[in-house]
Amino acid sequence: MTKNPSDHAASDQPKLNPGDQAEPGTPGAGENICPECKGSGRIGATACPICSGTGKVVEGIGGA
């Protein structure tokens, strides 16, 4: 079957965190403080599962 070239490119995309709603660098998207951990990157003694401990999530602002 025909291979879609974009499949290979997709594998090069940065891994999104569970809380991300858009890819980093996407026009209209921006980083926001993670609402789950309030930007601390941690929930108690463990890394926040929403932002993977970064304290930030990428949200789409353009309303896509």
Does position 58 bind Zn ion by CB under 5 A? no
What kind and span of H or E run contains 32? strand 29-33
Q: What is d(CA 58, CA 32) in angstroms, rounded to the nearest whole number?
A: 6
Question: How many amino acids of this chain bind Zn ion (CB under 5 A)?
Answer: 6
Among residues 5 and 41, whose Cβ is nearest to Zn ion?
41
Residue 1, CB half-sphere, CA atoms under 13 Å: how many?
Answer: 2
For the bound state, the minimum distance from the C-beta of residue 14 to Zn ion, rounded and expressed in Å, comes to 17
Binding mask 12-51 for Zn ion (x = CB under 5 A): ----------------------x-xx----------x-xx
